[in-house]
Amino acid sequence: MLYMARLLEPEPFLSESTVLPVIDVRSPGEYAQGHIPGAFSIPLFDNGERAIVGTIYKNSGRDAAILKGISIATPKIPLYLQDLRKAVNGRKILVHCWRGGMRSEHMAALFEKEGYEAGVLTGGYKAYRRFVRASLGRPAVVIVIGGYTGSGKTEVLRGISELGCQAIDLEGLACHKGSAFGALGQAPQPTNEQFENNLYKIWSAFDLSLPVWMEDESRMIGRVTLPDPVVEMIDRGILVRLEVPKEIRARRIVSEYAGFDANLLAEAVNRISERLGGARTTEALEAIGSGAFDRAAFNMLTYYDKAYNFAIDRRPHVRKIPFDLPLGIDEKTPARIVAFIQEILRHGTYLPRF
C-alpha cells in the first residue's frame, strides 16, 4: 500500500456513496460497460493506455508494467486534479478501480496529497458487482401488475408509485417496453451490467418487509436480461391481472404508436413475422401502410394475447388475481388496486412462498 487508506467493504462504501461523490478510476471502456450509478469517471489510463500496460504486465512482469504506468500517468496528474475539482465540491471522496488494487491506491494517494480524504472500495468494482447480485437475491413479497398488452400496466404502476408504494419500473430502467415495438421512442438500452446496477440502487432503498410492486415481465426486456432472482420473484409473486377489453387496449396501442414513422412500425412487424405467420404479417403491414392503425393494433393484439397466455401457463407458481376493468383504467385505478391487495395481504391468503 502507498499509504494507510480508509478501506471500505461494499455495503458501507455504498452507504457513504449516498452523501459522498464516487470517483471511478477505471478506463472509459470499463466505465461504459457498467459503473456505480452517479459515479464520476476520472480514469488513470484511457482504453489504449490500459491495454499497453496490460500487455507489458503479461509479457514482462509487474515491475515493468508499473514503470510504464508511472510514465503514462505522471504527466497527466494536473488533469486528474482538474477533473476532480470539477466533479466535487467537498473534500471527502470515495475511490474505486476494478479490484481495489494499484489504480485506486495511486489515485487515492494523489488525491490525499491534495487535501482530500479518500475512502477506497475493498475488492473494487468486482466486489461491488458480487454484492449487487447477492443483494438482488434477497426475498421480498412482490406484487406484479399483469395483463394483456395495452392494458395500461405501466401507467398503473406509475400511479402506485405516486401513492408512496415501493415500485420498480423495469421497462423504464431497461429503456424498452418489452414488445417488438418496445424500442420506439426510447433511449438506447443500458448494458445488462448497468441495468443491474441501476436496479440495485432502487432495490437497496426498499424496506423488504413491505411489498414491492413490479410490472409483469418476461426474462428479456429487449436486449436486457433480468437477474434470475428477480425473475423468480415475479414468477412466485401475486399477479394482479388487469382485465381490459380488447377494443380499449387497441385504442391505447394506437395512441402510443401511431405517431411513429410507418417504416419503423413495419420493421417491428417484420421482426416477428415468423411468429405472426405470413397472413397476419401481410395484413398488419397493409393496415399500417394504409393508415388503418386500429385494424393493425387489433391484429397484433391477437398474437400478443396468445403469447401472454402461453407465458402465464408456463409459470405454475404465479398467484393470479383478476381485476376487472370493463371501461379501462382511470386515475382511481392505482388506489383501488393498492387497497385491494392490502386487504388480501391482511388476510394472508396469497402470500408468496419462499
pLDDT along the chain (354 residues), means of 10: 75 97 98 98 97 94 93 96 95 96 94 95 98 93 95 97 97 93 94 98 95 94 95 92 96 92 92 87 92 90 89 81 96 96 79 45
Model pLDDT, residue 4: 59
The pLDDT value recorded for residue 314 is: 80
The count of residues in the chain is 354
pLDDT of 354 reads: 35
Helix 77-87 crosses helix 102-113 at what angle (to 10 degrees)?
Answer: 80
Count CB-CB contacts under 10 A for residue 160: 23
Active-site residues: which are they? 97
What is the structure's pLDDT at 316? Answer: 74
Radius of gyration of the chain (CA): 25
- Give the span between the Cα atoms of 80 and 43, in whole angstroms: 8
Whose grid coordinates read 413495419? 266
Give the residue among 102, 37, 35 at the shortest CA–CA distance from 70. Answer: 102
Q: Which CATH architecture has domain 6-133?
A: 3-Layer(aba) Sandwich (3.40)
Would you state the pLDDT for residue 349?
A: 60
Cα–Cα distances (Å) from 246 to 153, 278, 305, in that order, read: 14, 23, 9
pLDDT of residue 319: 82
Max CA pair span of the chain: 72
> CA 341, 345, 351, 354 torsion: positive or negative?
positive
User: For the chain, which residues make up each domain, given as ranges?
Assistant: 6-133, 139-347
- Outline where DSSP puts E strands in 275-326: 319-324
Predicted local distance difference test score (pLDDT) of residue 1: 44
Regarding the domain delimited by 139-347, which CATH topology (the fold level of the hierarchy) does it fall under? Answer: Rossmann fold (3.40.50)
Q: Count CA atoms closer than 13 A to 17's CA, side-chain side.
A: 25
How much is the pLDDT for 239?
94
* Cβ atoms of residues 242 and 146 within 8 Å: yes
Name the nearest CA neighbour of 94 among 192, 20, 178, 199: 20
| pLDDT for the residue numbered 353 | 44
A 10 A CB-CB count for 266 gives: 16
Q: How far apart are CA 274 and CA 91, in angstroms?
A: 59
Is there a shared CATH topology between the 6-133 domain and the 139-347 domain? no
Q: Give backbone dihedrals phi and psi of 5, rounded to 5 degrees, phi first.
A: -70, 155
